[in-house]
Amino acid sequence: MDKRTFKNLDFLFILFTFLLLAASLFILSTASINVDKANPLRYVKVQSYWILSGIFIAAVFAVIDYQKWRRLRWWIYALNLVFLLAVIFIGNAAKGATRWIAITSSFSIQPSEFAKIFIIITLAAFLADRKGKLNNYRDFVLPFLFVLVPMLLIYKQPDLGTTLVFAAIFIGMMFIAGANPWKFGGLLLGGVCIIGLALWFHFATNLPWWLHWAQGLPLPMQDYQLKRLTIFINPNADKSGDGFHIIQSIWAIGSGGLWGKGYRMGTQGQLNFLPEHHTDFIFSVVGEEFGFIGTITLLFIFFIFILRSISIALKARDTYGTLIATGVIAMFTFHILVNVGMTSGIMPVTGIPLPLISYGGSAMWSNMAAVGLLLSVNLRRQRLMF
């Protein structure tokens, strides 16, 4: 790699990435202190290992020319399917889902996290080859099937959150790839309306007699899964069940006020009333202990991080680079919006972690690989002529 390439490095993007990583350790130092009382800093130490190894992964992805992934796209796609199929046969079950593959007795990986990176790399190549050929409805079929296969394997685990992330990546990349905005947007709107009507028919109790048949239509989810998705509308309907997470999260964030209760002075998080407060609901701890000022500061760091990512996408030297950056941006943005929304009680609880902040090895490695992809695109935005 020519050292002249490093003059393209976006140092502001790197700075805000490291700010998020530092924030992860700082927030975990209070969010996880009472999760394992025998070893209060265990999660911080382990997260430090994930971050250090993640930095190495990001550096490797940054150094490798992203065009090399394009030549390997079908091998990568096949490898992705192999990993996802392996979960079905040798995966470990936990909390009602089979999403992990045990490497050792104390270390497991979650293939669906890495699948997001694989699909960004491969779908970007697939769409780049079809630039200018996404004008009709039939042109949307092959890209949709390309993403649908791994999506179904992830949904089967079941992992609805990651399935929705795949949908967000697909939609963002399709628009940037040049899909006809009216036809593709119309399909999306139609799909949303159909899903909305299906849910309304399923839960409605006062349908006229001539619509009773609609309540018997099969849905691709069990009733308990649908309840988890819709309970955010009225969490008080099941205070001790599915609504418990949302109620505790809202109390935590709301009780923080402007400045928060102070470092390690929260109640919902420190007394373990708030479930998963070091993973999916870590944003609630920020709201409770650091208040509105703390949450808006964290969101501002995320805002600059996404803004610099968009700048990298705009300056990419080719369509493939732009699409890779778009997929990463869609992934990060969806994670942030949904995680903050679900902890605030305005979106369904789907188990999506806060990127670069929440505790987790596979998620951190996946996020840092995505950062490395952005840096690879950024470093090569100008072709060296001599």
In which order are the strands placed within the sheet that holds 97-102?
Answer: 92-94, 97-102, 108-109
**Residue that wins the pLDDT comparison between 196 and 217:** 196
Q: Is 95 exposed, middle or buried (0-12, 13-18, 19+ CB in 10 A)?
A: exposed
Q: Is 48 exposed, middle or buried (0-12, 13-18, 19+ CB in 10 A)?
A: middle
pLDDT given for residue 132 in this prediction: 85
Q: Which of 362, 366, 367, 370 is nearest to 91 (CA)?
A: 362
Average pLDDT over residues 352-368: 96
169, pLDDT greater than 60? yes
Q: How far apart are CA 56 and CA 54, in angstroms?
A: 5
Q: Which of 101, 99, 95 is nearest to 112 (CA)?
A: 99
Q: Which of 58, 56, 57, 119 is nearest to 83 (CA)?
A: 119
Overall domain count for the chain = 1
Q: Residue 355: how many CB atoms within 10 A of its CB?
A: 24
386, pLDDT greater than 50? no
Q: Please indicate, yes or no, if residue 200 is contained in any of the structural domains.
A: no
Give the pLDDT confidence of 235-283 residue by residue, as tens digits. 988 887 788 889 999 999 999 999 999 999 999 989 888 888 999 999 9
What is the percent of the chain where pLDDT is above 70?
Answer: 92
Q: What would the 3-class secondary structure string for the chain be?
A: CCHHHHHHCCHHHHHHHHHHHHHHHHHHHHHCCCCCCCCCCHHHHHHHHHHHHHHHHHHHHHHCCCHHHHHCHHHHHHHHHHHHHHHHHHCEEECCEEEEEECCCCCEECHHHHHHHHHHHHHHHHHHCCCCCCCCHHHHHHHHHHHHHHHHHHHCCCCHHHHHHHHHHHHHHHHHCCCCHHHHHHHHHHHHHHHHHHHHHHHCCCCCHHHHHHHHCCCCCCHHHHHHHHHHHCHHHHCCCCCHHHHHHHHHHHHCCCCCCCCCCCCCCCCCCCCCCCCCCHHHHHHHHHHHHHHHHHHHHHHHHHHHHHHHHHHCCCHHHHHHHHHHHHHHHHHHHHHHHHHCCCCCCCCCCCCCCCCCHHHHHHHHHHHHHHHHHHHCCCCCCC
Average pLDDT over residues 102-128: 93
pLDDT given for residue 3 in this prediction: 67
Confidence of residue 198 (pLDDT cuts 50, 70, 90): confident
140, pLDDT greater than 90? yes
Q: Please indicate, yes or no, if residue 302 is contained in any of the structural domains.
A: yes
Q: How far apart are CA 4 and CA 379, in angstroms?
A: 10
Residue with tokens 């418990």: 244
End-to-end CA distance of the chain: 13
CA distances from 238 to 30, 209, 232, 267 (A): 29, 29, 10, 22
pLDDT given for residue 385 in this prediction: 40
226, pLDDT greater than 90? no
Q: Please indicate, yes or no, if residue 205 is contained in any of the structural domains.
A: no
Average pLDDT over residues 154-179: 94
Give the pLDDT confidence of 313-328 residue by residue, as tens digits. 999 999 999 999 999 9
210, pLDDT greater than 70? no
pLDDT given for residue 128 in this prediction: 95
**Residue that wins the pLDDT comparison between 180 and 209:** 180
- Residue ranges making up the domain that contains 133: 3-179+221-379
Q: Please indicate, yes or no, if residue 34 is contained in any of the structural domains.
A: yes
CB 136 within 8 A of CB 180: yes
What is the percent of the chain where pLDDT is above 90?
Answer: 68
Residue type for position 353: P
Q: Please indicate, yes or no, if residue 108 is contained in any of the structural domains.
A: yes
Half-sphere exposure of 293 (CA within 13 A, CB side): 7
Q: How far apart are CA 133 and CA 177, in angstroms?
A: 9
In terms of average pLDDT, the best of 43-47, 92-96, 211-215 is: 43-47
Q: Please indicate, yes or no, if residue 188 is contained in any of the structural domains.
A: no
pLDDT given for residue 228 in this prediction: 76
Give the pLDDT confidence of 8-64 residue by residue, as tens digits. 889 999 999 999 999 999 999 999 998 888 888 999 999 999 999 999 999 999 999
Q: How far apart are CA 179 and CA 379, in angstroms?
A: 28
**Residue that wins the pLDDT comparison between 295 and 213:** 295
pLDDT given for residue 213 in this prediction: 63
384, pLDDT greater than 60? no
Mean pLDDT across the chain, nearest whole number?
A: 90
